[in-house]
Structure 1
């Protein structure tokens, strides 16, 4: 009985009991739910493109070129008679792969460099000057320069977009590590002889997870946009690979007589970026305790 009374009076125990479940949390934060639902629909359409699209995205039918949306061609056809609906769904697969790959690669590389730069003062001076040099170059120009020096391919696009994103992650992780490193419990752990790997895994890295998750969503949205820019300019994915950027680039020549060539890929691109950004904003509100107390 006494134990029960003490537990009931303990504010920590009471806080755990009142901690909202997953469904209640999503009701409290509708932005992540909206982002997840919209993103899930786009991801499903991209992964299931071979089954959802009734036409081959590469099949040309000159007789049906520049046809408006109809029952046979839901999004119309382009100048070569290819089905825009099929090409738009398949283009989503390219954007999905690039967004996830760039977010994962830049986050992992930036995490490793940021931890080293934030914890070791001697390495900080060298690494951050390199990062400052990369950030001084506009990311889109650096990506274009890298693409112009190599042969266009999906993996080259991923590398070209990842490099400009790494410094942003490094600066974020470095700032968190610099703050955590000065905490009393870190100094106490160092004083009792805790080795560096254990200190990183147990005390420092967990503090970087929340901001990194949010930053990764923004990087994914940015990567989708940058890939579209590069493909629109002709230095992105190869022309034979359907992506939203090169579909819009091909359709811009016929926008006055066949606006659907750029309308539907543009809508899908906007929805993809919007859903990722909405998800990132919602995750920021959920993972930041200071914002959570205000809601």
Structure 2
């Protein structure tokens, strides 16, 4: 089993660079999927309150019996709980569903920028670390302007910004803003739901390294320094998505995949609940 590299976040906590996501996995399937992932060697699990599968994830964590400090668990606060005085209650509800005393990373899932409620929430997030309910705090689906406003509060800077990111949508402005603020970039939908796996730049690299197109795209993310959380409920794919540390893409191969960006959006789809 290959050792998964880690990223040191801006508060000194280390996070596995490759983890397992459970977006769109029903709660009654989440336990088996997460147990399979943990058995395969994943040590980072990403869920969210809006996914409706925190209980299934919690059952898997309990069944696996791994020491708590060996599994990095992320969950997220949904927009219904944005606003002053609500973050702790929302996190405690997630912890109850997960069966945990703390998570490792807690994210604001969406800025819902029609109001400034995400700023009020962020101001309370630091207290969640102080109380020991989470080790790290961050955001998801935040654009550069949202990050600037959070930074302008003068307090803790998010450790992670989880955004839609894949070869067809590279979100370069947000990635640059993350880097400017010392925020790690985490990619959701890293495989573009399969939309880029038939691209010539991907298939040629796969053939050259005798790996799958999905493994090539995940390797592309890792070599760019992204944290990545592929999702699958198929045991073979769960294992294959972790088997991406035995080869390196060449500079030419990376450039070829970089050139695949074709979506002009600079941010996530407004209706996306992902990440």
TM-score, structure 2 normalization:
0.25
Q: Which has the larger radius of gyration?
A: 1
